[in-house]
Amino acid sequence: MTIEEIKETIKEFALGLGVDAVGFASTGDYRSERSPAIKDLLPNAQSMVVLGYREPDGALNSPIARISMAARLAVMDLAKRNNLIIAKFIENQFAAEAAFVLVSYPMDSQKGLVADVSLRHAAVAAGLGVFGRHNLVIHPVFGTRILFTAILTSLQLSSDPSIQEELCLQCNLCVEECPAGALDKEGFTDVMKCLAVSQPYGVGGLIRYAGKFLGAAPDEKKQLLRDPLFQSLYQASYIGQQYECFKCEAVCPIGRSGKKQ
């Protein structure tokens, strides 16, 4: 099989599993300054298959973050399962190695908020999109409403052509509507501001709650355990991170509604 035939075989297989967009990048074309080298993750890696999953319009248009989060959890489940199936398909069909990263976690706690693979930079390298004013990657069809995962492989696959057009409309809606003011400075997301609003039940919220609890009198402790905040923290501890904000994704006009395929 030629490289193009191998890429087409993997792409067809992935699309059949509910993946919405597939791109390929040679590891040499992946450039993410703050992320670890791909060779540190899989020494024989030569390329990566980047998979994109559209998030449903309805989920992102809901004013209730919990409804958006329901779709997010479903995408994460599907993507996780598909990563394993596609990685095994690559290993079985082409006698190659394949390993993968998931949508968000696990992450190395020593590295702060830098993941093993920067999926936005991987998506750009695989010709699946370009960065927009919101520092998210915009896909030509699905716009900002797309999440990515990646499979690293020892197969020597060539990169798909990169997108040359500017897809961001520079409408500034993401900047204006960000409730945290986290996008004011161009090319930079104020992570702490974003986190405070988007993940109130994340580790920061847990630390604040624990601090309050430890300093409380016995009666106050009883109250604190009945506080809905405790319920939300508890829920996040078994469901996983719960985003309370999807604004920069949801307000972006590119890729909203209309025929998708």
Question: Does residue 159 bind ligand B12 (CB under 6 A)?
Answer: no
Question: Does residue 80 bind ligand B12 (CB under 6 A)?
Answer: no
Give Cα separations from 182 to 152, 185, 189, 193, 197 (angstroms): 32, 8, 6, 5, 10
Number of residues written out for the chain: 261
Question: Does residue 195 bind ligand B12 (CB under 6 A)?
Answer: yes
Residue that has been written with the tokens 């992102």 in this structure: 60
> How far is it, in rounded angstroms, from Cα 171 to Cα 46?
38
Question: Does residue 148 bind ligand B12 (CB under 6 A)?
Answer: yes
Question: Does residue 89 bind ligand B12 (CB under 6 A)?
Answer: no
Structure tokens at 39: 């060779």
Q: In this complex, which beta carbon is closest to ligand B12, that of residue 6 or of residue 117?
A: 117
Q: Is 52 helix (H, G, I), strand (E, B) or coil?
A: strand
Taking alpha carbons only, the member of 247, 245, 259 closest to residue 201 is: 245
Question: Does residue 104 bind ligand B12 (CB under 6 A)?
Answer: yes
Question: Does residue 21 bind ligand B12 (CB under 6 A)?
Answer: no
Parallel, antiparallel, or unpaired for β 137-138 and 47-54?
Answer: unpaired
Answer for which of 147, 157, 180, 252 binds ligand B12 (CB under 6 A) is 147
Q: In this complex, which beta carbon is closest to ligand B12, that of residue 9 or of residue 241?
A: 241
> How far is it, in rounded angstroms, from Cα 41 to Cα 256?
35
Question: Does residue 48 bind ligand B12 (CB under 6 A)?
Answer: no
Query: Which of the ranges 15-23, 159-167, 180-188, 211-219 carries the binding residues for ligand B12, by CB under 6 A?
Result: 180-188
Residues that bind ligand B12 (CB under 6 A): 32-35, 101, 103-104, 113-115, 117-120, 131, 134-137, 144, 146-148, 183, 187-189, 191, 194-195, 198, 243, 245-246, 248-249
